[in-house]
Structure 1
Amino acid sequence: MVLRLAVTDPTDLARLEKLFGAMWSIKRAVQRDARAKVDAYWAAKHERDRDGAKAVRQRLGLSREALERCAYRHLENAGHLKHHASKALAMHIADEVWNGVSRHLFADNTGKRFGRPKVGRWYDLTRIPGRARSHTTENKWETFRLVGTLHGHAMAYTDGGRHDLMQPRRMPKPTVPGGKVPTGKLAAAGKPGMRKANWWDHTGPLAVVFAGGPVGRRGDFVLPVRIPQGPGQWARVEHFLADPRCWHKVDLVRRRKASAPGGWVYEARLMVLRPGHASPAVRQMRQRAAELGRIGGVDGNVSNLSVVSFPASLDLDEGTPASSEITLTEQERVRLEKEAKKKRARARALERSRRATNATQYGLSKRQARRAERRAAKGLGPKAVTVPGGARAARLDGVPKQAFRRDWLSRNYWEMRARQAEAAASAAEYRRHRARQIAREIIAVHGPRLTVEDCDIRTWYRLWGKRLSQTTPGTLISALDIECKAAGGRLVRASTWSTALSQHCLCGERVTKSLRDREHKCIACALVGKRDLVSAALAAFVDLADPDDPKTARLDSARSRHAQIIFNEGLEEALSESTTPCQNTPRGAGRVAVPRQPGTSAHRTPDGGTERPRMRHAPCVTTSESPDPAPRAVHSSPPGELRIKS
């Protein structure tokens, strides 16, 4: 759970910045040491052949313990770092560096290794890991700890429970309880014993405490916590914070925000030892989806995502085929174009700021050079150019004379960079939320037992990168995989080499199509439908000998032909357009405009009269009751929403 830290005191803000600065210095030093050791390890080829790789790693100190000792030495040698960081934090940072080194030294199950370890940037350090709490030893929680109780927090900011939760903008910092409390062991034995109260006895408002460790600091570093207080948030807050025995680990995280003091927002990421939170509506939806008894297939495309499902028993009395097609709405395209326009404007503003601050590194543009020539021909003095528009000063081989990292950058430049990073993070979070919403809608209609082709979407980005960044099929399929597992099913992947779903028909015949052929036409059975929907329907009849190995997938043509015979017209309808209503429509989506009769300004009523045009609500997937052509309804949804096209 993400807990917002209410840091309003300038002293606490400065201490937080120095803490992150100290951790960055330690991590950068350990990364440089690890990179030098890795280079020496690969250079010692003859020694590795003679003594073995393990002996060379031990000599060079390529191990978790050796990197931790390197971090300790850097912390001790740099005396100022001990005033801000502790040895426990240095150990955790060294462990993170070792994780990257181990992925480079040792290959994974597929035989691949990560690249050579590098030194990251200052802005890449966004998390300081904390040490986990000990659940076997009483009152043992090192580095960052969460103190207080949810009940005490609610009583403090609800006026004793008489009002709604209302946390002030400047939240006060809790203090260590005063006085003495009975000692646990002596109190259990019935003997009188008292000890001084500490943070473990604090039952008031929640706070994150960094106690002990740094030298030269008086008192603990206390950061008050602001819990979510919006509508519908209390159930989620209770799930994570009601039982302190489940609290396991706290990481300190910073996030870019241009409007915040210093350009960063600080958060505490709490890990609890229990399943994640799901609302009652989501749990009910997953339970209904698990009871549907359907099998389906998914076909991911550059512009849409097609899903087709059948009853698991292929019995005519139990149900009919269902199909859905997820595409971008016109409002969604307009929103994406506006975001792209803002992104280009930010990039141009950043480039102008860099050129204005480092004018000597750029030449004049053609227009600026012609103006200078005209002024010189007229005997006028040269005009000062604040923003040169020409190419950057470079050598004969094209390498810039001055590296970009050595440019002077203004404060306005860094603020624009922060806004750019904030906008990118917001867009990524929106895409993830949209993918989760669509995945739940698909599961509610087609069930959690789905099959998708095992495609490498990275190759798609080389051809259609800009389009894929709008539709994000990879994010949609990943969210669908998570929702299938949460509903008790699974999204299995089938190899394209052994199935070739786009080149087959439900009758078992092979129908060769190129990428530009978007319609399926089979000569043998006269089946006509959309290429993506036919591929999704065939994916429902793929069997895997090993569900974890996509190469063991085989297409069961007998079952697909049996389904084609049973469902007949219903299947043709499903393969021509979406046929199932959406059970979980996003709020505000799915407004359908009733079409007007040509040449009139009103609609006909059943009694022959007229009425004014009106808007009626409908699901985002419409049901087609007959295969006869009918006027298509115009879907309109608010910006930021997707629709499932009919």
Structure 2
Amino acid sequence: MQAARTRKFRGKNKAPKWKKPNDGIVSVMVLPLAVTDPADIARLEKLYGAMWSIKRAVQRDARAKADAYWGAVHEREEQGAKAVRQRLGLSREALERCAYKHLEDSGHLKHHASKALAMHIADEVWNGVSRHLFPDATGHRFGRPRAGRRHDFTRIPGRARSHTTENKWETFRLVGSLHGHTMAYTGGGQHALTQPQQMPKPAPPDGKVPTGKLTTAGKPGMRRANWWDHAGPFAVVFAGGPEGKRGELVVPVRIPQGAGQWERVQHFLSNPSAWHKVDLVRRRKASAPGGWAYEAHLMVLGPGYSSPAVRGMRDRAAQIDRIGGVDGNVSNLSVVSFPAQFDGGMPVSTEVTLTDAEQALLEKQAKKQRSRARALERSRRATNTAQYGLSKKQAARAQRRADKGLTPKTVTVPGGAREARSDGVPKQAFRRDRLSANYRQQRARQAEHAASIAEHRRHRARLVAREIIAAHGPVLVVEDCDIRTWYRLWGKRLSQTTPGMLISALKVECEAAGGRLVRASTWSTALSQHCMCGERVCKTLRDREHKCTACGLVGKRDLVSAALAAFVRFTDVDDPKTAFLDTTASRGARITYAEALEEALRESTTPSPNTPRGAGRVAVPRQRGASAPRTAGQRNRATPDESRPRGHAGTPGPRNACSPQLTLW
């Protein structure tokens, strides 16, 4: 009897491991795909459906294995955690084999997806599992892996090209050249770049091209042309994998065009050797065919693009010799800075808050969102009348008609509660409701509008962060607060001002300008409970004014906290728990800048940047002397200026002068 054949796998690579150049710095450019052919749209949807099926299957297997791993308590103690993970198959390679098996056993999935795509989907699942199994630097773990919804699956990771082997790029590849693209859509360079709404699909190269080598007869070698020889318009090609002679999936690319876009396009697309990987991404767009807009996210080896104006602003900010502090709050963001050597200049303060016009715009947008939500609810009730009861008004009218012997009227939109069990659980899950085509379209428009607002908020946060470092420099200190805890009480207000987004953008801009945004523990500093003179001034969350009886300093609570943050020192800059307040330096600044400091702590002393259209979606600096608006619900509720520390237990930083201290500046 012949022995069973064992499956062979490729072993480890014996060549030196390739490393990313430029210290591993990568950037991403979004390239819109012009998908208009119904056959291409159908194929892309089938590809997403197949990849979602594989990812869901691997996620369920990983979830079961993770549960078995945590249940094997005695085995982990006796044999070790690594042995248990190896037995259960909790590793990157094991999940890849699991994805291969699901792909091969299904049969129909092989007509749409490839093994390379299945491997990278399994790698994404392993990234989530590893964050669940192994704690991070702070000791926290992520939750158990779970499968999401199909409509939330929007990204198919591609395989990176080989930079050691010529012409090896297995999954999604970007073909073409910038010169060929511009020549094709400028009439040979005779007029401006004009890309049509329905872009033609590039044809693969035909004929033969020289290989650059000589044959045995001494003649130049020739080979058949392929997509690597395509030098025309850009296109994304998926050429590898699915069974059956279905041909290659070729999708034309539309490069961004408009004011200030050409330099950015040249930065990313002029050097094909720096192209590293292409991921296929889709996003909801109700007006697009099929309801989805497709994009190719091109990863490039190298830094991202910055305009000359932004680079000049960062260079000027890097030359500013100032120290500053940031105080994040629910309704505003306060920044105060001082000259680094206290030998000249003046203290400068900035408040980032909402104006009356921006508050009115936010209320208008919220009203529009509520009307859209009510329209969606009416549509759901109209198509699922059996799942809802009559409202009190509708039931009373039906009873009156029944008492008079009239024919009962059919209620098209019941207004009562949903049919539920005795414990309050609906008898039918919401995901099993019938939804009309109009409902799906309106829901897609609502999601598209929300994504647009979120992107605009991120853009405004970057602009505000650049204005801050241009006035205060790139060396700032902020309290180490967990803003997620604020959403329990002030979630609606936080969604308007987005202090966390502003602080994140400020961190990026500080690092880009050569500085750093350092976090200090609130446990060891207690900035809101101190004065510039060093005295402790206790205040509750409702007290928004700072009044010191020792030195007579009067100012806004948030601005005083930001000013004190500039005098926080660290034993270890990377550890927020080692922060402590240098009261000697703050007292010296209080004496040096007496009247100027009081003026800076009463109001913002920097001019407000120009507010573009739609700026109400994110907080912007208010003008000098303007009062901060408050909503009706906020007048009777306190707003925090710091939260409880995240694991910052123990006493404050070192108090004796003999202990080693590392100052930030």
TM-score w.r.t. structure 1 length? 0.89
> Which residue pairs with 1:39 in the alignment?
67
Distance 1:17 1:28, change over 3 A: same
Could you tell me which of 374, 383, 389 is aligned with 2:400?
A: 374
Backbone CA RMSD of aligned residues:
2.0
State whether structure 2 residue 447 is matched by structure 1 residue 455: no
Please say which of residues 409-418 and 223-232 is displaced more in the overlay.
409-418
Asked if the contact 2:353–2:621 (Cα under 8 Å) also holds between the matched residues in 1, the reply is no
Distance 1:588 1:342, change over 3 A: closer
State whether structure 2 residue 337 is matched by structure 1 residue 309: yes
Tell me the secondary structure at the aligned position of residue 184 of structure 1: strand
Deviation sequence 1:364-412 (CA, Å, 0-9, x none) = 1111111111111111121111111111111111111122222222222
Q: Aligned-pair distance for 1:622?
A: 5.8
State whether structure 2 residue 567 is matched by structure 1 residue 506: no
Could you tell me which of 297, 304, 316 is aligned with 1:288?
A: 316
Counterparts of 1:339-378 in structure 2 under 5 Å?
339-378=365-404
Structure 2 letter corresponding to 1:8:
T
Could you tell me which of 575, 582, 588 is aligned with 1:562?
A: 588
Q: Aligned-pair distance for 1:50?
A: 3.2
State whether structure 2 residue 442 is matched by structure 1 residue 416: yes
Counterparts of 1:444-483 in structure 2 under 5 Å?
444-483=470-509
Structure 2 letter corresponding to 1:293:
D
Asked if the contact 1:83–1:217 (Cα under 8 Å) also holds between the matched residues in 2, the reply is no
Deviation sequence 1:284-342 (CA, Å, 0-9, x none) = 000101111011111111111111111101013xx111111111112211221122112
Q: Aligned-pair distance for 1:545?
A: 1.3
> Which residue pairs with 1:401 in the alignment?
427
Could you tell me which of 244, 262, 265 is aligned with 2:272?
A: 244
Distance 1:236 1:635 in 2: 38
Distance 1:488 1:209, change over 3 A: same
Distance 1:620 1:78, change over 3 A: closer
Counterparts of 1:123-142 in structure 2 under 5 Å?
123-142=151-170
Distance 1:64 1:185 in 2: 41
Could you tell me which of 296, 304, 308 is aligned with 1:276?
A: 304
Distance 2:170 2:218 in 1: 30
Structure 2 letter corresponding to 1:199:
W
Please say which of residues 357-366 and 33-42 is displaced more in the overlay.
33-42
Distance 1:621 1:579 in 2: 10
State whether structure 2 residue 92 is matched by structure 1 residue 68: no
> Which residue pairs with 1:433 in the alignment?
459
> Which residue pairs with 2:242 in the alignment?
214
Deviation sequence 1:25-62 (CA, Å, 0-9, x none) = 11111112222222222333333333332222222222
Please say which of residues 304-313 and 403-412 is displaced more in the overlay.
403-412
Structure 2 letter corresponding to 1:82:
K
Gaps of 5+ in 1: 591-618, 624-631, 637-646
Distance 2:584 2:74 in 1: 60
Counterparts of 1:140-159 in structure 2 under 5 Å?
140-159=168-187
> Which residue pairs with 2:541 in the alignment?
515
Structure 2 letter corresponding to 1:154:
T
Tell me the secondary structure at the aligned position of residue 441 of structure 2: helix
Asked if the contact 1:505–1:522 (Cα under 8 Å) also holds between the matched residues in 2, the reply is yes
Distance 1:587 1:517 in 2: 33
State whether structure 2 residue 367 is matched by structure 1 residue 332: no
Q: Aligned-pair distance for 1:446?
A: 0.5
TM-score w.r.t. structure 2 length? 0.87
Asked if the contact 1:580–1:621 (Cα under 8 Å) also holds between the matched residues in 2, the reply is no
Could you tell me which of 418, 422, 426 is aligned with 1:392?
A: 418
Distance 2:290 2:594 in 1: 65
Gaps of 5+ in 2: 1-28, 630-665
Deviation sequence 1:94-152 (CA, Å, 0-9, x none) = 11111111111222222222112111110111000000111111111110000010011
> Which residue pairs with 1:613 in the alignment?
none
Aligned length: 596
State whether structure 2 residue 257 is matched by structure 1 residue 229: yes
Could you tell me which of 513, 516, 526 is aligned with 2:552?
A: 526
Asked if the contact 1:298–1:452 (Cα under 8 Å) also holds between the matched residues in 2, the reply is yes
Q: Aligned-pair distance for 1:580?
A: 2.2
Please say which of residues 528-537 and 350-359 is displaced more in the overlay.
350-359
Please say which of residues 548-557 and 342-351 is displaced more in the overlay.
342-351
Distance 2:92 2:457 in 1: 37
Asked if the contact 1:250–1:268 (Cα under 8 Å) also holds between the matched residues in 2, the reply is yes
Tell me the secondary structure at the aligned position of residue 563 of structure 1: helix
Q: Aligned-pair distance for 1:253?
A: 0.2
Structure 2 letter corresponding to 1:42:
W
